[in-house]
Structures are given as structure tokens and as C-alpha cells.
């Protein structure tokens, strides 16, 4: 199980040629390890390895192609570091092989809806992050619609959690993620960020992935490489809303922001008198 006694930072490692935020620079195992190393040194608690881009409009990748990208990277990271590695995938076979290679958490933007995915995770006994997505990555941003985005996202995740628990996944092994940017307009994303406490009330630890996303671009008018300040503001707002894991690209800067937040909000922090 993950230690979630304080906020945790999940560093994003996209091992894809078309990744939206790193331009595919980390598509070889050596480069992936180098990037993982820099994130660990900067204070990452978890490394999230993904081999299929989920950016809007991204083309799907087949199983063999995804495995060829992620497995060498996971093996190399697991050999050098003793920290949780999560596998960002929706494919049961990739989940299985990634866990055999050293991953210890499944991060599924499809919330284990692929045939066999729930059973696969139940059988492996690893924790899973269930993320909400309306539609599929290729088309999800075309016309997202909700009557009540916060209620619908929460109901969806609770229903997925019920299915998981019925299949044998322990409730303590389940994390929720509202899926910022996945079939959502800017207003949907803002409503979800504002209402994060309502998702946290479910009792499932909440993961927030807002780093560098288009919602930050829309609010600031900045390109993807210039969204750090906006991403940090969103990260702190997510912590205020109760998020326990922040999925980010800029680990060192997020670590600083988390330290400041902890000092003010957590009892026993450096601002407490002895």
C-alpha cells in the first residue's frame, strides 16, 4: 500500500514519441531512466510511466508497441530506485507485465473498463487509480456535456469502485481521480477543482493531474512549456481541496509548493511552536 500520510508527488514519465509535454524526448530507456533519476532527486514519491499518449486526438498504440516502450523503462527504474512505480495503462496485459517488471500501482485513465482489467488488478493485489473520462482520448474534447459534472464524476467513480471491490480489490487499494481535461470543458474542470472536497468525502484518496494541462493554458494564455506558475497554483488549490497525490511534470517546483502548504496546513509543521 502507498504511504499517504502526507501529500505525495507523482512524477510523469511519458515514454511516448508524441507526448504533449516532453515532445517524446524520453522515448528510450536510457533517457527515461535519466529523467526518472532527476525526478527522484527533485523529490518525486512515485514515478508514473506511460507508453500511450492520452492527449486529446492522440492515436492509440498497440499492446506490443506499448510494452516495448514501458517495460525497459520500468525495469531500469526498479533496478535503481526503491520507490513506487505506477504504470499508466488501460491494457490488462501491459498492467501484468509492468507489475512483473517492477511497477506497484496501476494508473488507469479508463478506470479498469477494458475487458479483464478489473480481474487483472484484483489478481495482482496492487493499488489502482481509477480516473474519470467522458468519451475516449481521440474525440473526448469535441463536445463534452454534463448536467452535473461533479455529481456525475463522483457517481461514476463510486460505481467503478463498487465493481472493483466486488471483484476482490480491497477498498484501501483504490484511489480516485476526477480526470481533469478528459472530456471536460474549462468550466467543468474548474467546477471539479472547486468541488474536490466532495470527491474526497468518499473516503478514497484523490489524485489530481492538472500539471501543464490545457485548462492552465486557457486561463493563462501560455504554451505548454510555460505553464509552471499556473500549474503550481492549481497544485496548491488541489491540496487545499484534499488531494493526496499530485501528478506533475515539474517535480522540484511542486515539492517546494507542497512544503509551503504543509508548513501552513499540517499540524506539526515547522510553523508549530515546540
Rounded Cα distance between 118 and 212, Å, is 30
How many other CB atoms are there within 10 angstroms of residue 259's CB atom?
A: 14
79 annotated active-site = no
Please tell me what DSSP assigns to residue 192.
H
**Is 11 among the residues that bind ligand 9MG (CB under 6 A)?**
no
Binding ligand 9MG (rule: CB under 6 A), the pick from 207, 238, 248, 251 is 207
Q: Shortest approach of ligand 9MG to residue 106 CB, angstroms? A: 10
Closest distance between ligand 9MG and the C-beta of residue 232, in Å?
16
Grid cell listed for 156? 461514476
Cell output for 168? 476482490
Burial of 94 (0-12, 13-18, 19+ CB in 10 A): buried
The answer to whether the CB of 170 falls within 8 A of the CB of 91 is: no
Nearest CB to ligand 9MG, comparing residues 33 and 243:
243
Q: With CA atoms as reference, report the closest residue to 149 among 188, 202, 207.
A: 188
Catalytic residue among 69, 91, 227, 247: 247
Shortest Cβ 72–ligand 9MG spacing (Å): 19
List the interface residues with ligand 9MG, window 91-110 (CB under 6 A): 107, 109
User: Which of the ranges 60-68, 157-165, 172-180, 263-271 carries the binding residues for ligand 9MG, by CB under 6 A?
Assistant: 172-180
Footprint on residues 43-62 left by ligand 9MG (CB under 6 A) = 50, 54
DSSP class of 3: -
Cβ neighbours of residue 265 under 8 Å, at least 6 residues apart? Answer: 239, 240
Q: Which of 213, 227, 244, 255 is catalytic?
A: 213
Rounded CA separation 58/68 (Å): 18
Our finding on whether 88 is near ligand 9MG (CB under 6 A) is: yes
Among residues 16, 5, 2, the alpha carbon closest in space to that of 85 is found at: 2
The grid coordinates of residue 211 equal 500539471
Cβ-based nearer residue to ligand 9MG, 69 or 247: 247
Q: Are 211 and 199 in contact (CB under 8 A)?
A: no
> Do 246 and 235 contact (CB within 8 A), yes or no?
yes
Residue 212 binds ligand 9MG (CB under 6 A)? no
Which range in 26-34, 97-105, 147-155, 173-181 contacts ligand 9MG by CB under 6 A?
A: 173-181
Per CB under 6 A, the list member of 66, 97, 177, 250 interacting with ligand 9MG is 177
CB of 131 to ligand 9MG, least distance (A): 5
The reply to whether 247 belongs to the active site is: yes
Residues contacting ligand 9MG: total by CB under 6 A = 13
Instruction: List interacting residues with ligand 9MG (CB under 6 A).
Output: 50, 54, 88, 107, 109, 129, 131, 177, 179-180, 207, 209, 247
Amino acid at each position: 500500500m502507498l504511504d499517504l500520510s502526507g501529500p505525495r508527488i507523482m512524477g510523469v514519465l511519458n515514454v511516448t514519441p508524441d507526448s504533449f509535454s516532453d515532445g517524446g524526448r524520453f522515448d528510450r530507456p536510457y533517457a527515461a531512466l535519466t529523467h526518472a533519476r532527476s525526478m527522484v532527486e527533485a523529490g518525486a514519491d512515485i514515478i508514473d510511466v506511460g507508453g500511450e499518449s492520452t492527449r486529446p486526438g492522440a492515436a492509440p498504440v498497440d499492446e506490443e508497441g506499448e510494452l516495448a516502450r514501458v517495460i525497459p523503462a520500468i525495469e531500469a527504474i526498479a533496478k535503481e530506485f526503491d520507490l513506487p512505480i505506477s504504470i499508466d495503462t488501460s491494457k490488462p496485459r501491459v498492467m501484468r507485465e509492468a507489475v512483473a517488471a517492477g511497477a506497484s500501482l496501476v494508473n488507469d485513465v479508463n478506470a479498469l473498463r477494458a475487458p479483464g482489467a478489473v480481474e487483472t488488478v484484483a489478481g495482482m493485489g496492487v493499488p489502482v487509480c481509477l480516473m474519470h473520462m467522458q468519451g475516449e482520448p481521440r474525440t473526448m474534447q469535441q463536445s463534452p456535456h454534463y448536467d452535473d459534472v461533479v455529481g456525475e464524476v463522483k457517481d461514476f467513480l463510486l460505481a467503478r469502485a463498487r465493481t472493483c471491490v466486488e471483484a476482490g480489490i480491497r477498498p484501501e487499494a483504490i484511489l480516485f481521480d476526477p480526470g481533469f481535461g478528459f472530456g471536460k470543458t474549462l468550466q467543468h474542470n474548474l467546477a471539479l477543482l472547486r468541488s474536490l472536497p466532495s470527491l474526497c468525502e468518499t473516503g478514497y484518496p484523490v489524485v489530481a493531474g492538472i500539471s501543464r494541462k490545457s485548462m492552465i493554458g486557457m486561463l493563462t494564455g501560455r504554451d505548454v512549456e510555460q505553464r509552471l506558475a499556473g500549474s503550481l497554483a492549481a497544485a496548491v488549490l488541489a491540496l487545499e481541496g484534499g488531494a493526496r497525490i499530485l501528478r506533475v511534470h515539474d517535480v522540484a517546483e511542486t515539492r517546494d509548493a507542497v512544503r509551503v502548504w504543509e508548513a501552513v496546513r499540517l499540524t506539526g509543521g515547522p510553523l508549530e511552536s515546540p
